[in-house]
């Protein structure tokens, strides 16, 4: 979800340590995590309420949106560059002569 490296995590921890101090930092981190969980719950509830009031099936809409990811240029190029052999049915010629290994 977030592109945060280990160095950035250490920098955030150091800033938090300077701002809150070593005694209050664990409580502040727990409060932040609790608030983030509440925000996610509220957002999910609002999304469900909007879908219910509009009479939409949200799973169908989400499947449609996920289907659009097939048209992302990165996915199109990767599907074109795959080295998978294509299976084509080889049809024998109607009047083709039989192969004779002794004739060569």
Mean pLDDT rounded to a whole number for the chain: 80
Distances (CA, A) of 97 to 89, 92, 93, 94, 101: 19, 10, 9, 9, 12
Residue 51 is part of which domain span?
A: 6-78
pLDDT in tens, 28-47: 989 989 999 999 999 999 98
Q: Residues 57-72: pLDDT tens digits?
A: 777 777 787 788 777 7
**15 found inside a domain:** yes
* 86 within domain boundaries: no
Count of domains observed in the chain: 1
Please name the residues in contact with 29: beta carbons below 8 A apart, sequence gap of 6 or more. Answer: 16
Residue 14 lies in a domain: yes
**Confidence at residue 102, expressed as pLDDT on a 0 to 100 scale:** 76
> Quick check: is 52 in a domain?
yes
pTM of the predicted structure, to 2 decimals? 0.46
């Amino acid at each position: 979800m977030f592109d945060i490296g280990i160095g950035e995590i250490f920098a955030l921890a150091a800033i938090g340590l300077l701002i809150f101090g070593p005694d209050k930092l664990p409580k502040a981190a727990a409060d932040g995590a609790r608030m983030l969980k509440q925000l996610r719950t509220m957002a999910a509830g609002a999304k469900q309420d909007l879908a219910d009031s509009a009479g939409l099936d949200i799973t169908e809409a989400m499947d449609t949106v996920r289907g659009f990811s097939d048209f992302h240029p990165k996915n199109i190029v990767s599907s074109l560059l795959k080295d998978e052999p294509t299976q084509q049915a080889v049809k024998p010629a109607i009047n083709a002569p039989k192969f004779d290994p002794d004739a060569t």
